[in-house]
Each structure stands twice: as structure tokens, then as C-alpha cells.
């Protein structure tokens, strides 16, 4: 996955989690309406919880990570999906960045 190049100022304007812990920013394309957008969420949620993103255009929810098995396989994330390409989901993640909390 190539790294997303984004300034600190730009990252503040990305919708999503506002807490001060480490963040992951993803760029994803909704395959329902073909709109690309950016979302930000805590790394902790991504690694240990459930992360959903809502498409700002069609309002569909997309599962990005599911460590608790709410939506199917336990300990599933979008990277597993990209590697396996078996899951027929309706979202495509094009870029990700991990934002270090010392860097904010
Ligand atoms: Zn959409």
C-alpha cells in the first residue's frame, strides 16, 4: 500500500475520531457510488475493536476492521481483505497513513 502524503493541517480537516491517540487515515472508494473520501480513526480501534466508515455520498457503512467478530470473521481487517481478495465487499481502500501521536 503506498503511503498517503498529507499535511498536519489537512489531516485535521478529515472527518473522524477527534481523540488524541494515534490515528490511522484511510482513503477509500465506495463501490456503491464510486466516491472517494478520507476518514480518520484511532489506531487502537483498528487494532483492537471495530471500525466502520460511512460513505459521505450514499451513507453506506463499510467495515474497515472487525477484531471482535461483529460482522463475521474475528480479527479481520481491510489489509487481510486486500491480501486475500475473497471477501466481496463494497469498499476499496486505496491509501493509508498511520499518524504518530508525537507528530500531531
Ligand atoms: Zn457511497
At 18-49, the pLDDT tens digits run 667 788 888 888 888 999 999 988 999 999 99
- The number of folded domains in the chain is 1
Q: Which of 78, 30, 22, 28 is nearest to 50 (CA)?
A: 78
Tell me the whole-structure pTM to 2 decimals: 0.66
Is 30 among the domain residues? yes
pLDDT at 56: 93
Q: What is the whole-number distance in angstroms between the Cα of residue 92 and the centre of ligand 1?
A: 11
Long-range contacts of 56-61 (CB under 8 A, 24+ apart): 56/15, 57/30, 57/33, 58/30, 58/32, 58/33, 60/30, 60/32, 60/33, 60/90
Structural domain for 68, as ranges: 8-99
Is 82 among the domain residues? yes
**3-class state of residue 26 by DSSP:** strand
How far is Cα 104 from Cα 12, in angstroms, rounded to an integer? 9
The residues whose Cβ lies within 5 A of ligand 1, an ion, are: 30, 32-33, 55, 57-58, 60
Q: What is the whole-number distance in angstroms between the Cα of residue 64 and the centre of ligand 1?
A: 14
Amino acid at each position: 500500500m503506498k503511503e498517503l502524503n498529507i499535511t498536519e493541517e489537512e489531516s485535521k480537516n478529515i472527518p473522524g475520531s477527534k481523540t488524541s491517540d494515534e490515528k490511522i487515515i484511510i482513503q477509500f472508494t465506495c463501490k456503491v457510488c464510486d466516491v472517494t473520501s478520507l476518514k480518520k480513526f484511532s489506531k487502537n480501534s483498528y487494532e483492537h475493536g471495530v471500525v466502520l466508515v460511512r460513505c459521505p455520498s450514499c451513507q453506506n457503512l463499510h467495515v474497515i476492521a472487525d477484531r471482535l467478530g461483529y460482522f463475521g470473521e474475528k480479527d479481520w481487517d481491510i489489509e487481510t481483505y486486500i491480501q486475500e481478495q475473497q471477501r466481496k465487499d463494497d469498499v476499496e481502500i486505496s491509501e493509508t497513513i498511520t499518524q504518530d501521536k508525537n507528530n500531531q
